[in-house]
Amino acid sequence: MRTKAVLFDLDGTLLDTSEGIFHTANYTVAMLGHEPCGDLAQLRKFVGPPLKDCFRIVYGFQDEKLLDDCVRVYRKEYEKLGMHLCHIYPGLEETIDSLHSLGLKVGVCTLKYERLARMIFDEKGLSAKLDTVRGTDEEGKITKAESILRATKDLGLEPADVLMVGDTVNDQMGAQEAGVDFLAVSWGFGFAKGDEVAYGRLIDSPDQILSYVKEA
C-alpha cells in the first residue's frame, strides 16, 4: 500500500454536525439583530468555508466588524451547546479501526477552531483513535492546505503518503494544494452521488475508503 495515513475532514465527513452548526449560526445572527435563515439548502453552505466566509455566503454579511462579532458570538454559543449536537456517521468508527489494523495513521484536518475540535473528539470518545488533529486558529487564518501539511508533518510523512477525505470543494482544493490524494464523500454537505470531481475520486460509503487504500 502506498498510502500511510488517512486524514478526515470533520464537519460532514467524519461527524454529522449539522444540527449544532445550523442552530448556532441562526442563534448568532438573531442575537446580533438580523434575520435567521430558514432555508436548509442555504444553511448547508455554512459548512466547509472559513467561519467568516460562511456568514458572508449564507447571510450576505460584508461588514468586517459585524463578521468579527459573528465569530465571537458563534464560538461562545457553539462551545456552550452546538458542539454537543453531533454524531459520527455510521461505519466510520469501524473504518478508523480497520485503517489502524492495516498499519495506517489516522488524523483530522478541519477549518473548525482546533481547540473545539479536540473537545468534541474527547466528548465522543474518539481522541484515542486519532494520531493528529489539526484545525484553524482563533483568527481563522490557517487554510485547509496548511492544516493538511501540519498534520502530515505531525505524522512524520510526506504529502505523497497521505490521503485526504472530505465532503466539500474546500477540502478538495486544500488536498490538491497540499499535494495529497483526495476522496470526496457524498454523505456530507457538499458533494452528492453522481457528481463529477475535478481532483480525486468520489465515494458513497466508508468501506470504499478501505478499498481505495488497499488498491493504491
Q: How many CB atoms lie within 10 A of CB 18?
A: 19
Residue 122 has pLDDT above 80, yes or no: yes
Q: Please state the rounded mean pLDDT for residues 28-44.
A: 95
Candidate from 45-54, 68-77, 186-195, 202-211 with smallest mean pLDDT = 45-54
9 is catalytic: yes
When the pLDDT of each residue in the chain is averaged and rounded to a whole number, the result is 95
Residue 52 has pLDDT above 80, yes or no: yes
Q: In this structure, are residues 165 and 209 in contact, taking their beta carbons and an 8 Å threshold? A: yes
- pLDDT number for residue 216: 76
Angle between helical axes of 169-178 and 144-154 (0-180°, round to 10): 50
Q: How many CB atoms lie within 10 A of CB 215?
A: 9
Residue of 9, 11, 167, 181 marked active site = 9
- pLDDT number for residue 1: 80
Q: What is d(CA 35, CA 104) in angstroms, rounded to the nearest whole number? A: 46
What is the percent of the chain where pLDDT is above 90? 88
Q: In this structure, are residues 11 and 21 in contact, taking their beta carbons and an 8 Å threshold? A: yes
